[in-house]
Every structure is written in structure tokens, then in C-alpha cells.
């Protein structure tokens, strides 16, 4: 029994070291993304607000949300060809599939979700992801807060990242500053994905229904259970390099982590041989 316990502990130690050695390791401690420095603008004058990523590795998809004070500033549209107010897409990532690109001037929320597609390569380093065009409507200071930051690599694995908050101060007057416009991607180069919306039928299914009490009856047939889908969680639509973007990406955990199964099988076989020889 003592030999079996020692052998089992030895196998566990080997298995732990094997897993530690084969786990993917990122060189970065964590990327940063947001408005990197405080900004100053003159009332009723348009200002470009770049949202930049710093020290990222293998970036392929982003899901970002920034909030501002709608009483101090308002967002201008970067793409007049589409309804609503959009952000400009920076040049750090290649134009790809866009799920969200909209600014709500009533709530003061800017949301952007996009992924590159094949044959685009993952991007590393630093650069401008999107540009928000703001105009001061009242003298004051608006916080620019990154309320959601999600970065992903080519396989959809989340990249560690933190948001960088800043401020935009709107003054009544100030010097005229001439600067080169930040380059952005042509809006026609991206592909828009339709945003899921509730239909009348699905809205009706979400409304509370009155409870009707009836006398219990014996069913003549086996009851059929029907499931109604109530909520659908959206994730960053990262597209693999050698797949068709139009097809869903489905991978089995065992297939993706085949090396874990192989190591476990080898260790179990080694344990059996060890116990057989020490009997």
C-alpha cells in the first residue's frame, strides 16, 4: 500500500510539471488600451480622441466601450453613409467583421466590436484602434472612461489588458491648433454583421404570463418539454486563419488539448508498470 501511495504521488508531480511546461506563456504582463493622455478642446470645435493599445501581442479582435459626459461633449459621425453615429476605425487592425460601431449621445456611450479575418495576421505592438470625434457643447470637463475592455487573439483566447481612463476639458476659447488628421480605415472596407434584435414573438415570450390553476388531470400521452431561448450572449467573433468566416468555429476540448490526454495516458501506463514490478 505504501509503495502504491508513493508511486501515485510521483505520477502527480510528473503530471503537474508536464502541464506547467506545455501551457502557452505570454511574453506580456498585460496590454493597455484607452485614451493615453488628458485632452483639451475649444467649445464647438471638433477634436479627435484616439483610443490606443500599447504593448499588445497577437491582437486579432476587440470589444471596447468608452463613456463620456453628454452634457459637456457630443460625438460626431465618422461614417455618414450609415445611419447613426460611428467611430472611425484606426489603422492598427485590418478592416474585418464589425458587430458594433455606434455612439449613443444621449447616454454618452461609445461601443466598438470588430475582428480581423483571414488572411489578416495578428498584430503586436502599439497603435490606434479607433478614433472618437467629439465636440464641446459646454465649458467643463468630461471623464473618458474605458468601461469595457476585451482583447482576443486569433483563436478567441482573451489577451490580458487593462483600460486607461482620461479626461477632456472644454474651454470657452483657446489657441487654434493645426494637426494632421489621424488616418482611419475606409468604412466601405469593413463587413457589418447584423446585430441580434428581439422579434415580436420573442418579446411576447419574455412578458410575464398569468398563472391559471386547474384541477389535476392524468395526461394521455407523455408530456413534451419545449425550451424557449431567452437570452443570447454575444462574444468577440474571432475568426481562425484557415477557416471560412461564414462558418461557425466549433472545437472540441479534447481535440484542442490532445497533449493533456496523451500525457495522462502515458503516466497511467507508467504507473501500471511500476506497480507490477514492485509487487
Higher pLDDT, 250 or 150: 150
What share of residues in the chain are helix, strand, coil (percent, to 5)?
20, 35, 50
The whole-chain average pLDDT of the chain stands at 74
- Decide if pLDDT at 99 tops 90: yes
Q: Domain residue spans in the chain?
A: 31-192
pLDDT of 67:
98
185 band by pLDDT with thresholds 50, 70 and 90? confident
- pLDDT, one tens digit per residue, over 141-164 is 999 999 999 999 999 999 999 999
Question: What is the pTM assigned to this prediction?
Answer: 0.60
pLDDT of 133:
96
- pLDDT, one tens digit per residue, over 20-51 is 333 343 344 689 999 999 999 999 999 999 99
Residue 91, number of CB atoms within 10 A of its CB: 15
pLDDT of 112:
97
- Decide if pLDDT at 123 tops 90: yes
pLDDT of 258:
55
Which 8-state DSSP code applies to residue 135? E
64 band by pLDDT with thresholds 50, 70 and 90? very high
Within 8 A by CB and 6+ apart from 264, the residues are 15
Helix (H), strand (E) at residue 271 = helix 258-277
Instruction: Please tell me the least confidently modeled range out of 29-33, 88-92, 119-123, 273-277.
Output: 273-277
pLDDT of 251:
43
CA 177 – CA 196 distance, rounded (Å): 42
pLDDT of 29:
61
The cell for 74 is 457630443
Q: Is the peptide bond before 12 cis (omega within 30 degrees of 0)?
A: no
Mean pLDDT of 93-121: 96
pLDDT of 181:
79
- Decide if pLDDT at 213 tops 70: no
Instruction: Please tell me the least confidently modeled range out of 15-19, 92-96, 108-112, 243-247.
Output: 15-19
Closest alpha carbon to 117 in 242, 250, 275: 242
Mean pLDDT of 222-242: 43
Higher pLDDT, 224 or 128: 128
User: Count of alpha carbons within 13 Å of 197, Cβ hemisphere only?
Assistant: 6
Class of domain 31-192: mainly beta
pLDDT of 70:
98
pLDDT of 80:
86
Are 151 and 77 a contacting pair, CB within 8 Å?
no
| Beta strands at 97-104 and 109-115: parallel, antiparallel or unpaired | antiparallel
- Decide if pLDDT at 115 tops 60: yes
Are 89 and 190 a contacting pair, CB within 8 Å?
yes
pLDDT of 276:
65
Amino acid at each position: 500500500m505504501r509503495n502504491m501511495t508513493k508511486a501515485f504521488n510521483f505520477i502527480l508531480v510528473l503530471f503537474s510539471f508536464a502541464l506547467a511546461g506545455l501551457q502557452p506563456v505570454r511574453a506580456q504582463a498585460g496590454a493597455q488600451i484607452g485614451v493615453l493622455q488628458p485632452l483639451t478642446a475649444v467649445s464647438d470645435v471638433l477634436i479627435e480622441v484616439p483610443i490606443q493599445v500599447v504593448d499588445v501581442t497577437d491582437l486579432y479582435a476587440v470589444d471596447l466601450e468608452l463613456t463620456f459626459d453628454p452634457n459637456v461633449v457630443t460625438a460626431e459621425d465618422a461614417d455618414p453613409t450609415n445611419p447613426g453615429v460611428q467611430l472611425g476605425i484606426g489603422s492598427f487592425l485590418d478592416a474585418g467583421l464589425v458587430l458594433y460601431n455606434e455612439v449613443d449621445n444621449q447616454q454618452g456611450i461609445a461601443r466598438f466590436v470588430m475582428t480581423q479575418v483571414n488572411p489578416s495576421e495578428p498584430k503586436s505592438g502599439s497603435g490606434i484602434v479607433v478614433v472618437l470625434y467629439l465636440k464641446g457643447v459646454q465649458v467643463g470637463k468630461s471623464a473618458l472612461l474605458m468601461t469595457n475592455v476585451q482583447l482576443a487573439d486569433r483563436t478567441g483566447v482573451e489577451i490580458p489588458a487593462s483600460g486607461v481612463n482620461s479626461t477632456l476639458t472644454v474651454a470657452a476659447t483657446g489657441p487654434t491648433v493645426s494637426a494632421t488628421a489621424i488616418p482611419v480605415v475606409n468604412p466601405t472596407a469593413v463587413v457589418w454583421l447584423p446585430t441580434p434584435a428581439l422579434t415580436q414573438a420573442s418579446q411576447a415570450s419574455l412578458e410575464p404570463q398569468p398563472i391559471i390553476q386547474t384541477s389535476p388531470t392524468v395526461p394521455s400521452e407523455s408530456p413534451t418539454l419545449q425550451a424557449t431561448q431567452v437570452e443570447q450572449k454575444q462574444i468577440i467573433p474571432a475568426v481562425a486563419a484557415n477557416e471560412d468566416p461564414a462558418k461557425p468555429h466549433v472545437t472540441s476540448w479534447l481535440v484542442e488539448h490532445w497533449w493533456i490526454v496523451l500525457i495522462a495516458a502515458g503516466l497511467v501506463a507508467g504507473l501500471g508498470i511500476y506497480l507490477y514490478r514492485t509487487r
